[in-house]
């Protein structure tokens, strides 16, 4: 087994990703261009080969900033960890850890969607814990290099779609249906399309400012639309002609994931976010998707409860971590040292937040 940076073409890489169990849109070759164009990060495409035959792949990015230096697959997203045969996955993890040790990074984090490093493994189903990544459910992955652990700090929520919008509607709880009807009664409408990027970003950037978190750049999202026209999905809820809520997701292998979603706080009482999620689900069902993924969140919090109310189930995310220190994960707004900055950021004028925010956000993977 030989691990090295991939020297083949994009089509060969993507064919492997498309065929490999556990392959996701986060593994696609074009992320190298997206991260370079949108954020200025270098993405190394690592390949595990036997006699020239591709056995596994790992996109690995180095993210450096005032809060630390990280090797992440893949930053700002939920997945991107090593995929391929168990032997290839283990070799790729070992390579990433060795590289992290040699480069002196604070943390190596490989964002796996499933336990694919040993035959017959099943996803981690330990108890939910707050966003420390170091709770009792965290464990050492004994079949992987020494010091590699499995973190429980993120979980996704996935809802099976019946293939018929009416059946989907009937399957929702009455309270949820009532909350969806509220923005409908206010005359809100939803549109989909890549041409809605500016309206999406207007809502996204303001919501992130209100939450006290720097927003990723518009250039990053534009690169996504340009590089992933087949998979990227943008939906915007309009109230009296103005964007009120917006989402950006990806359709891949019969599952649509809402990767980023936001709504304007001043309209919370009208629940435009409920209409946004419902229309995304209906849109996904009409597109032939079999599942709706609400995206990742810390287990046990308010965001987690919001996602579960739609009837989905937890998908534990067994992210692999290695550190030479005591770091529990990449920086989070929930962490103590970040809390003061969060409060201050939420008070910034929007022009200042939009100018400075992307430079900070690119360093928080």
Q: Which among 130, 264, 139 has a CA at the least distance from the CA of 210?
A: 264
- Per-residue pLDDT at 119: 61
- Per-residue pLDDT at 131: 34
Structure tokens at 348: 């910034």
Residue 166 lies in a domain: yes
Q: What is 208-239 written as a DSSP string?
A: HHHHT-PPPPHHHHHHHHHH-TTTEEEEEEEE
* 72 and 167 part of one domain: no
- Per-residue pLDDT at 359: 87
- Residue position matching structure tokens 């103005």: 242
- Per-residue pLDDT at 364: 86
Q: Are 172 and 292 in contact (CB under 8 A)?
A: no
* CATH number for the domain that contains residue 294: 3.40.630.30
- Per-residue pLDDT at 343: 73
* 139 and 169 part of one domain: no
Q: Report the chain (365 residues): mean pLDDT per 10 consecutive residues.
A: 94 96 95 94 96 95 89 95 95 96 95 80 36 48 84 93 90 96 97 97 95 92 96 97 97 95 96 97 90 94 95 95 85 61 81 87 87
Parallel, antiparallel or unpaired: strands 107-110 and 242-252 = unpaired
* 50 and 104 part of one domain: yes
Structure tokens at 12: 């060969």
* 20 and 109 part of one domain: yes
Alpha-carbon distance 135 to 150, whole Å?
11
**Residue 259 belongs to what domain range?**
157-316
Give first-to-last CA distance, the chain, whole Å: 30
- Per-residue pLDDT at 133: 38
């Amino acid at each position: 087994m030989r691990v090295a940076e991939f020297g083949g073409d994009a089509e060969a890489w993507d064919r492997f990703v498309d065929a490999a169990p556990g392959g996701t849109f986060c593994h696609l070759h074009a992320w190298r261009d997206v991260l370079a164009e949108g954020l200025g990060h270098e993405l190394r495409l690592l390949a595990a080969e036997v006699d020239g035959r591709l056995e596994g792949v790992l996109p690995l990015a180095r993210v450096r900033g005032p809060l630390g230096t990280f090797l992440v697959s893949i930053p700002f997203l939920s997945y991107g960890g090593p995929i391929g045969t168990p032997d290839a996955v283990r070799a790729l993890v070992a390579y990433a850890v060795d590289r992290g040790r040699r480069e002196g990074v604070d943390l190596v984090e490989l964002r796996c969607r499933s336990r694919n490093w040993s035959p017959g493994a099943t996803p981690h189903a330990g108890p939910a814990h707050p966003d420390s990544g170091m709770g009792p459910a965290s464990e050492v992955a004994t079949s992987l290099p020494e010091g590699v652990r499995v973190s429980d700090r993120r979980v996704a929520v996935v809802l099976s779609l019946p293939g018929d919008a009416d059946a989907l509607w009937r399957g929702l709880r009455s309270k949820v249906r009532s909350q969806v009807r509220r923005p409908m009664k206010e005359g809100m409408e939803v549109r989909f399309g890549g041409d809605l990027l500016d309206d999406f970003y207007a809502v996204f950037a303001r919501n992130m400012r209100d939450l006290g978190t720097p927003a990723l750049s518009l250039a990053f999202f534009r690169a996504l639309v340009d590089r992933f026209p087949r998979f990227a999905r943008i939906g915007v809820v309009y109230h009296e002609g103005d964007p009120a809520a917006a989402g950006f997701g990806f359709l891949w292998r019969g599952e649509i994931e809402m990767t980023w979603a936001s709504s304007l706080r001043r309209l919370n009482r009208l629940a435009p976010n409920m209409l946004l999620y419902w229309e995304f689900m209906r849109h996904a069902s009409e597109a032939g998707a079999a599942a709706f993924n609400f995206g990742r969140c810390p287990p046990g919090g308010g965001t987690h409860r919001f996602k579960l109310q739609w009837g989905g189930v937890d998908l534990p995310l067994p992210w692999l971590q290695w550190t030479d220190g005591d770091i529990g994960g990449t920086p989070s707004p929930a962490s103590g040292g970040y809390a003061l900055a969060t409060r201050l950021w939420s008070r910034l004028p929007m022009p200042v937040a939009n100018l400075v925010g992307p430079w900070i956000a690119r360093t928080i993977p």
